[in-house]
C-alpha cells in the first residue's frame, strides 16, 4: 500500500462530512491539504506564512503524488 492510499484510508475517514479542523501545528495543515483532491483556497495572515504553507504542501504532494499548487502572492507584498 502506498503512502497516499494509507493516509486516505486512515486519516480522511475521520473527517467525513462538514467537519472542521482547527489549531493544527507545524506542517500538519499542509499534510491535510496535500491529501485534498478537490480545489481549495488557503488564506494565510502574511506572505511568509503563505509561502511556508505552499512549500509544505508541495513537499507532501511530491510524496503522495498530488496535483500542483497555484500560489497567488499578496499584490501589495515585496
Structure confidence by residue, pLDDT tens digits, 17-69 = 666 777 888 898 898 888 888 888 888 888 899 999 999 999 998 888 777 88
Q: Running DSSP on this structure, what letter comes out for residue 26?
A: T
Which of the two residues, 51 and 72, has the higher pLDDT score?
51
Contacts of 38 (CB under 8 A, 6+ apart): none
Looking at residue 59, what is its pLDDT?
92
For residue 66 the three cell numbers come to: 498530488
- Output the pTM of the full model: 0.72
pLDDT at 9 over 80: no
Amino acid at each position: 500500500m502506498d503512502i497516499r492510499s494509507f493516509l486516505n484510508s486512515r486519516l480522511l475517514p475521520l473527517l467525513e462530512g462538514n467537519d472542521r479542523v482547527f489549531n493544527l501545528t507545524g506542517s500538519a495543515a499542509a499534510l491535510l491539504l496535500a491529501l485534498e483532491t478537490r480545489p481549495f483556497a488557503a488564506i494565510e495572515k502574511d506572505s511568509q506564512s503563505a509561502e511556508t504553507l505552499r512549500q509544505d504542501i508541495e513537499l507532501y504532494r511530491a510524496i503522495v503524488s498530488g496535483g500542483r499548487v497555484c500560489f497567488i502572492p499578496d499584490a501589495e507584498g515585496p
